[in-house]
Amino acid sequence: MLVRFFKTINYADLDAGLQQAARDVLARGRPRERDDRFSPELPRPDLKCLTLLATAGQRPEWNNRTRSARHKVIPLSSPGLVARFPMISRLITQCGFDLAVLLMPGRDILMNMEQKTFNVFHVPDAVGSPYVPDQEEFVVPHGILSVVGFGGVLPPADLFAIILFSRLPIGRDTANMFAPLALSVKLALLPFTAGTGSR
């Protein structure tokens, strides 16, 4: 079992290490130009970055968020870049979040989503699924059979998501039971939303 908690954080509010990780992701997603000798432009300060804030699992390395190789921080800069993370892209769409809204700067539009009830992200058969990456290094050797995710919107304008990787099969009826947990998690997080960052 592995459970991970993500939350969007503005690029400017990330610590130096996560800012560098975000720039690395953006650089890998940028087409190589002939004059790519120059430093790329810094991301916008208000660029939303889906950031891994907590992780817990049965292996020691699964309990340290800094040891995540690919999902430490994901800048939500464009549909093309988000598509490079198929599980995150599928989570956003299947849960019912509007990717176009998430990619827009500013808080007013995202705030309109705050009262919406969202769906559950569910992959009943993780083995061989295009939506669960690292099949050979993670899914198969660790016996991951199903994946469930859920989330919501926090004030002033941030998305949160929890993803559970299970070694037991999870059917649709069971997965749907996770939907009410989104409100419980949101209520637990609300006291910590003011001035939160990655430090």
Q: Is 65:52 a contact under the CB 8 Å cutoff?
A: yes
Least confident of 59-73, 91-105, 166-180: 91-105
Residue percentage of the chain with pLDDT more than 70: 83
104 contact partners, CB below 8 Å, separation of at least 6: 110
The stretches of 30-176 forming alpha helices (DSSP H) are 79-83, 86-95, 99-102, 108-111, 172-176
Q: Is 49:82 a contact under the CB 8 Å cutoff?
A: no
pLDDT tens profile 6-38: 999 999 999 999 999 999 999 886 644 434 443
Least confident of 77-86, 175-184, 186-195: 186-195
> Considering the entire predicted model, what is its pTM?
0.84
Distance CA 149, CA 14 (A): 24
Distance CA 122, CA 40 (A): 37
b (16+ CB within 10 A) / e for 72-106:
bbbbbbeeebbeebebbbbbbebbebeeeebeeee
Task: Give the DSSP letter of residue 128.
Answer: T
Distance CA 75, CA 138 (A): 23
Tell me the domains of the chain and their CATH numbers: 2-30+41-192 (3.30.450)
The stretches of the chain forming alpha helices (DSSP H) are 16-29, 79-83, 86-95, 99-102, 108-111, 172-176, 181-189
Name the average pLDDT for the chain: 84
Flag whether pLDDT at 165 surpasses 90: yes
pLDDT tens profile 31-53: 444 344 434 567 889 899 999 99
**Top-confidence range, 71-85, 95-109, 136-150:** 136-150
pLDDT tens profile 45-79: 989 999 999 999 999 989 999 888 778 999 998 88
Report the pLDDT value the prediction gives residue 164, as an integer from 0 to 100.
96
